[in-house]
Amino acid sequence: MRCCATPTRGAALKPERGALLLAGALLATAVAQGIGRFVLTPLLPGMRAAAGLDAAQAGLVGGMNFAGYLAGSLWLAARAREGRIGAVPLGFALVLGGAAAMALAPALPLWLAARFVSGLGGALLFLGALDAYARTAHVAADVRPLAGVGLGIALTGLAVLPWLADWRTGWLAAALLGALAAPLVLRLPRGDAHGARDHEPPPEHSGPMLRLALSYVGYGFGFGAATRFFSGGRSGHGSQTSPRTWCAWRPASAARCCSR
DSSP string over 212-258 = HHHHHHHHHHHHHHHHHHHHHGGGGS-TTHHHHHHHHHTHHHHHHHH
Tell me how far apart the 2 most distant CA atoms of the chain are, in Å: 58
Please say if the pLDDT value at position 230 is more than 60: no
Taking the C-alpha atoms of residue 17 and residue 112, their distance in angstroms, rounded to an integer, is 39
Burial class (CB in 10 A: 0-12, 13-18, 19+), 174: buried
Taking the C-alpha atoms of residue 133 and residue 145, their distance in angstroms, rounded to an integer, is 8
Pick from 81-90, 129-138, 143-152, 248-257: least confident: 248-257
Taking the C-alpha atoms of residue 24 and residue 186, their distance in angstroms, rounded to an integer, is 8
142 three-state secondary structure: coil
Taking the C-alpha atoms of residue 151 and residue 258, their distance in angstroms, rounded to an integer, is 11
Please say if the pLDDT value at position 2 is more than 80: no
11 three-state secondary structure: coil
Taking the C-alpha atoms of residue 21 and residue 29, their distance in angstroms, rounded to an integer, is 12
For 157-169, how does the pLDDT look when each residue is reduced to its tens digit (9 = 90+)?
899 989 888 999 9
Residue 50: which residues within 8 A CB-CB, separation 6 or more? 167
- Alpha helices of 105-239 — where are they, by DSSP H? 108-137, 147-160, 167-179, 182-185, 196-199, 207-232
Radius of gyration for the chain, computed over Cα atoms and rounded to the nearest angstrom: 18
> Is the CATH code 3.40.50 the one for domain 15-258?
no
Please say if the pLDDT value at position 255 is more than 80: no
For 18-43, how does the pLDDT look when each residue is reduced to its tens digit (9 = 90+)?
899 999 999 999 999 999 999 998 89
- pTM of the entire predicted model: 0.80
